[in-house]
Amino acid sequence: MNMNRVRASVLVLLMAAASATLAGCGAPPESGGAGGAAPSLCMVTDTNGIDDGSFNELTYAGLTRAGGTKPTVTISRTSDDYVPNVESLVSGDCSLIVGVGFNLVDAIKSAAKANPEIRFVIVDDGSIDLPNVTTITFDIVPAAFLAGYAAASHSTTGVVGTYGGTQIPPVTAFMDGFARGVDYFNKDKGTDVSVVGWNVAKKTGTFVGGYAAGVEAKTVAQSLLDQDADVLMPVGGPIYQSAAEAIRDRGTSAALIGVDTDGYESDRKYQNLFLTSVLKQVDVAVAQVAGATANAADAGGYVGTLANNGVGIAPFHDFADRTRPALGAKLDKIRAGLIDGSIKP
């Protein structure tokens, strides 16, 4: 059976479950919970906002699922809000505090050291080694590797591109995997598809300098299109929206690859542009970890992998009829090789 149709049923159900959870909860509170009493599950967002269609939104969905009620949320407008937001939750009635994203590491680590009786979770970082901190990380390189192979297979110009918000490990891991997947395609097919925006060997590339959609992100996308890239993978939350606008303004047939969530499902405004997406099942991971830690179990660290379906790629959706007929079977074979170690990403 075609890989896309098999994954479609599973991934769409997962995303639908997350979306249904959010829809049923309405707008999240910035503090407090139902009836004015603070619930025990709490979170601090990164600066993209609670409805970012990515980590913040999925973390909220996962916590809601784990606790059965709205979690307490503090919104970080800027990076200066991280520490005071965490401290405000420490002063409240939180038995579990989740920091969303790599940028919250220092604030979570400091608070965890000072408050050993409170359990903390950090999403997308594994560097904190404290008994009251559970880390959630994702082995994203193999999943991005699959997307890079698919991008190279789809390209008609022989050029694909990627760029990031800022140059931090959770971003460059996507870019590494993507570029290596393109390289694997070239070796497999005897082609010479090039990657613009990231050089794996030199660790240099193109970055917006932040994670907001806007002029900067659009200008970067336009520069990659100017280099004939016909598949773009922006890594950094909403910056994909600027890439989508650049593609539409140009009137080109270029495609997007989403990150973290299935862009086709999460943003219907641009869904016809998404070739596929590189997935981190954040809501599933957060629900699992929060459920365990809230019950005083030692959850340890969670690592999402291809083997446990914590990472993967989305179906080709509208592009299914435009991809190479044998691509689905080939990606299944590569995925198996990545899992058993016979293919090194």
**67 assigned to some structural domain:** yes
Instruction: With respect to residue 309, please indicate whether it lies within any of the assigned structural domains.
Output: no
DSSP secondary structure, 170-219, as one string = HHHHHHHHHHHHHHHHHHHHT---EEESEETTTTEE-B-SSS--SHHHHH
Question: How many domains are there within the chain?
Answer: 2
For residues 287 and 167, membership in a common domain is answered with no
Residues 214 and 244: their CA atoms lie apart, in Å, by 11
Cβ–Cβ under 8 Å, residues 188 and 152: no
Contacts of 220 (CB under 8 A, 6+ apart): 163, 206, 207, 208, 242
- For residue 322, what pLDDT is reported? 87
Cα–Cα dist 279/261, whole Å: 5
- Alpha-carbon torsion angle 289, 294, 300, 301, nearest 10: 30
For residues 234 and 151, state if they share a domain: yes
Q: What is the pLDDT of residues 60-109, one digit of tens each?
A: 999 999 988 899 999 999 999 999 999 999 998 899 999 999 999 999 99
Q: Report the pLDDT value the prediction gives residue 325, as an integer from 0 to 100.
A: 84
161 and 286 fall within a common domain: no
- CATH of residue 72's domain is 3.40.50.2300
Q: Is the residue at 241 inside a domain?
A: yes
Residues 76-110 as b or e (16 or more Cβ within 10 Å = b): beeeebbbebbbbbbebebebbbbbbbbbbebbbe
63 and 26, same domain (yes or no): yes
User: Beta strands 204-205 and 198-199: pairing type?
Assistant: antiparallel
Q: Specify which residues 74 forms β-bridges with.
A: 44
DSSP classification of residue 319: G
Q: Is 125 within a domain?
A: yes
My answer on whether 133 and 174 are in the same domain is no
Strand, coil or helix: what is 159? strand
Q: Looking at this protein, which amino acid is placed at residue 29?
A: P
Domain coverage including residue 35: 3-138+282-304
Residue-level pLDDT at 324: 83
pLDDT of residue 31: 40
Domain co-membership, 53 together with 15: yes
Query: What was the pLDDT predicted at 237?
Result: 86
3-class SS string, 75-142: CCCCHHHHHHHHHHHHCCCCCEEEEECHHHHHHHHHHHHHCCCCEEEEECECCCCCCCEEEEEECCHH
Residues 117 and 96 in one domain: yes
254 and 161, same structural domain?
yes
Same domain, 52 and 160: no
Whether 310 maps to a domain, the answer reads no
345 part of a folded domain: no
> Same domain for 210 and 121?
no
d(CA 90, CA 93): 7
Answer yes or no: do 218 and 329 share one domain. Answer: yes
DSSP characters for 11-25?
HHHHHHHHHHHHHHH
At 13 the pLDDT is 35
**pTM of model > 0.85:** no
Cα angle for residues 265, 26, 245 (degrees, 5° grid): 40
Same structural domain, 241 and 271? yes
Beta pairing class for 231-235 and 204-205: unpaired
- pLDDT score for 159: 98
Q: How would you write the pLDDT of the chain (345 residues) with one tens digit per residue?
A: 344 443 443 333 333 333 333 333 333 334 433 334 434 899 999 998 888 878 899 999 999 999 888 999 999 999 999 999 999 999 988 999 999 999 999 999 999 999 999 999 999 999 999 999 999 999 999 999 999 999 999 999 999 999 999 999 999 999 999 999 999 999 999 999 999 999 999 999 999 999 889 999 999 999 999 999 999 999 998 999 999 999 999 999 999 999 999 999 999 999 999 999 999 999 999 999 998 766 654 546 899 999 999 999 999 999 999 888 899 999 999 999 999 999 998
In a domain, residue 244? The reply is yes
Q: Beta strands 302-304 and 133-138: pairing type?
A: parallel
Q: Nearest 5 degrees, angle CA 63-CA 66-CA 69?
A: 75
Say whether 261 sits in a helix, a strand or coil: coil
Within-domain flag for 288:
yes
In terms of phi and psi (left: phi > 0; alpha: psi -120 to 50; beta: otherwise), the region of 90 is: alpha
CB neighbourhood size of 10 (10 A): 12
